Chain A
């Protein structure tokens, strides 16, 4: 026992810790840099880079670290690269850690909800911006436990540097054991030192997790969380003060807009006048002969459509009829096989000479032309508050100052009835609230056209109305140009100027909303409408 204490406090062993930490530090830092490069290559659009990264991963993940150490130490000098022992050990450990770290990074990036990426693209964020502002902040949070693991494993793996004469803890322990024959006292002592080091790593990991925790716990939990027996509560409390019920009541109270429900006859007269005005307006969206197929199965079989300034178009049709695809083609979130799409007179996604734009240039064009998009699944940025979801893209993409962006965001949250939830994270909002934030986010940069892809389909029935109310106000009060794919026939009748009915990738019928909805000419439209009968608007009494 006294020998054990003697070795535990022996400066010779304690100093060995520095070598252990130096090799571990070099290995992790180098591995992180190399891992970032590898992960970027694997995720790259260029297959040669991806293949190279794969090859590297196969080799360095598939050979023992001890061989890599000996290689870095004894073989590299043959080609004139003579590193110090610590340098060689650090290099080998970095080369070995890199594929593991790259896989962690890749899993973290791929783990981010694809919808958030689409939403970011639709907002005109370049790939770099998306990575920096949306993907990385969320991926890093999910990767911290894996990083903790990797650090502990690197720390233990650094002991293999003993074979290439790095004076780290293991080498010093074995040497000491050889010269004193106190085998067990020494190895218990060095084992305890390793344990202290790995415990340190765990503490740092928990600390970083806590600092980055979006649902920062109340003060009394802060230290309790560091204890090993602490378990996070399963149900997360909303962070706003006050009981949930009153919050809901408040939000509901805000939504219904002040304008009285339209008189049907008055609106009929208005509509005729309105449609006459609209036909004189410029076209915002012009789709010509749009054709797209998956495996020779056409999803869009030659679609022609023009939407004019201020017009609200409802896209109807059964699931799989091509509504979503058409919307995604309009802002070039998806490519197509033939035909043209022009927004504001520009061919989105193509250069003057007809060649496709790079993702970065396409993003800039989206931001410039201004096509807002609202998704069925809301696709809010999960790590940002409601306010930041709206204000962030304004700053990053459109260069607004923080003050201006926040002011605009607060204005819009107020309009969608959510100013009291500005600081809430998306996961603490109801579906309807999330979709209202998503709408605020989409209209924040004043888009020339807003695309809404089944904006209420993912909502519980009781939440549908609050979202429809918001959209209705945008159409009526703001005169915003909109293309909405929806199954809400009554809503389409109230809000849309025109209905476009898609089936099997083609437009089978289009015309003034009320007319098509009440008197369909095409049998497919008629059948669809009769199936959806419950929600069908009735012909206005004479």
Chain B
């Protein structure tokens, strides 16, 4: 049932967008032309990329490793129809950047908390996995930010605890979170506030991936799960009669591509390539393709701390 939902959505979407190598035979003709228009896969790399490849030749022809936490459908998850592939906005964006600089990507699936350690140990070259660029994390890696952050509050259907954000409404509630997520310290910061207000403290349950956090709510173990609004929407879509999104909240972070701190040239190359990809309109097209809010779009910056 759940699977069919997803497939249904995917089909609707594919019909609309007409994208993807596998569905090309379905949507021939006009749809195919649109596909060519929006999919970087099928079109040549943006014009400025040739110059970038000349300026940064070190990565041309290489295959780099992208560490991901493939548990966030829409951003990065395995393709339910062909589990040997990873699909999502981040995957497409990474491949566009790779195309621009002339490298290919392979993927290494790790837990969220292990993304940056995998990068700094040299087991991966780049991390494009819906990771929020915070000052704290920037001590472990340099970030090229590319997206604004909107969080959603996932609760059980009917929102029995009347939770409306990471605020006093969460006092006494059990919040499920991923280990290493930025929301974890935000919930922890509530503890003294709740105490001061004479309310019971919120409790935190830490899990290894989104699916486990969502299961915690379905099983009645947790009352809420605050995460990227798209992830929350996907969860509601998969379980419409059991879950709902209480609210979207803005979190003062940006999503970033993480690269090793000791490779500033690579960081600059990725930044330049991302700018080209954005200039060519591909970034915006991909947001639409994956049904993400276009308001997520953000011009890139570098976050690097000593």
Query: Are A and B co-members of a single complex?
Result: yes
Query: What 1/0 mask marks residues of chain B from 277 to 298 whose CB sits below 8 Å from any chain A CB?
Result: 0000000000000000000000
Contact of B109 among A10, A70, A75, A171 (CB under 8 A): A171
- In the complex with contacts A82-B122, A167-B109, A172-B83, A180-B2 CB distance below 8 A: yes
- In the complex with contacts A77-B121, A165-B109, A171-B109, A183-B215 CB distance below 8 A: yes
Task: Determine if A183 and B211 form an interchain contact, defined as CB atoms under 8 angstroms apart.
Answer: yes
B78 within 8 A of A: yes
Task: Determine if A164 and B73 form an interchain contact, defined as CB atoms under 8 angstroms apart.
Answer: no
B41 within 8 A of A: no
The tally of CB-CB contacts under 8 A between chains A and B is 87
List residues 57-93 of chain A with CB under 8 A from any CB of chain B: 70, 73-75, 77-78, 82, 85
A163 within 8 A of B: yes
Which of the candidate stretches B110-118, B191-199, B248-256 sits at the interface with the other chain? B110-118
Residues from chain B with Cβ under 8 Å of A177 in the complex:
211
Task: Determine if A178 and B3 form an interchain contact, defined as CB atoms under 8 angstroms apart.
Answer: no
B58 within 8 A of A: no
Residues from chain A with Cβ under 8 Å of B44 in the complex:
none
Task: Determine if A77 and B122 form an interchain contact, defined as CB atoms under 8 angstroms apart.
Answer: yes
Task: Determine if A180 and B6 form an interchain contact, defined as CB atoms under 8 angstroms apart.
Answer: yes
A146 within 8 A of B: no
B43 within 8 A of A: no
Residues from chain A with Cβ under 8 Å of B235 in the complex:
181
B67 within 8 A of A: yes
B209 within 8 A of A: yes
Task: Determine if A74 and B123 form an interchain contact, defined as CB atoms under 8 angstroms apart.
Answer: yes
Contact of A174 among B71, B108, B122, B123 (CB under 8 A): B71
List residues 188-222 of chain B with CB under 8 A from any CB of chain A: 208-211, 214-215
Task: Determine if B73 and A163 form an interchain contact, defined as CB atoms under 8 angstroms apart.
Answer: no
CA distance A12 to B109 in the complex (A): 15
Contact of A182 among B3, B109, B118, B214 (CB under 8 A): B3
Query: What 1/0 mask marks residues of chain B from 72 to 94 whose CB sits below 8 Å from any chain A CB?
Result: 11000111100110000000000
Residues from chain B with Cβ under 8 Å of A12 in the complex:
78, 83-84
- What's the least CB distance linking A185 to chain B, in Å? 8
The interface on chain A, measured as residues whose beta carbon lies within 8 A of the other chain's beta carbons, has a size of: 28
A131 within 8 A of B: no
B238 within 8 A of A: yes
* Chain A, residue nearest B109 (CB): A165
List residues 108-151 of chain B with CB under 8 A from any CB of chain A: 108-111, 114, 117-118, 120-123
- What's the least CB distance linking A77 to chain B, in Å? 5
- What's the least CB distance linking A480 to chain B, in Å? 72
List residues 148-176 of chain B with CB under 8 A from any CB of chain A: none
Residues from chain A with Cβ under 8 Å of B72 in the complex:
178
B98 within 8 A of A: no
A176 within 8 A of B: yes
Residues from chain A with Cβ under 8 Å of B78 in the complex:
12, 175-176, 178-179
Task: Determine if A165 and B108 form an interchain contact, defined as CB atoms under 8 angstroms apart.
Answer: yes
A3 within 8 A of B: yes
CA distance A248 to B109 in the complex (A): 71
* Chain A, residue nearest B2 (CB): A181
Task: Determine if B211 and A174 form an interchain contact, defined as CB atoms under 8 angstroms apart.
Answer: yes
- What's the least CB distance linking B151 to chain A, in Å? 18
- In the complex with contacts A77-B122, A77-B123, A174-B71, A179-B114 CB distance below 8 A: no
- In the complex with contacts A70-B114, A181-B211, A175-B121 CB distance below 8 A: no
Residues from chain A with Cβ under 8 Å of B214 in the complex:
181
CA distance A459 to B50 in the complex (A): 95
Closest 10 CB pairs of A and B: A12-B83, A179-B77, A178-B71, A74-B121, A181-B238, A178-B211, A165-B108, A77-B121, A77-B122, A180-B80
> Using a CB–CB distance below 8 Å, which chain A residues touch chain B?
3, 10, 12-13, 70, 73-75, 77-78, 82, 85, 163-165, 167, 171-172, 174-183
> Using a CB–CB distance below 8 Å, which chain B residues touch chain A?
2-3, 6, 67, 70-73, 77-80, 83-84, 108-111, 114, 117-118, 120-123, 208-211, 214-215, 235, 238-239
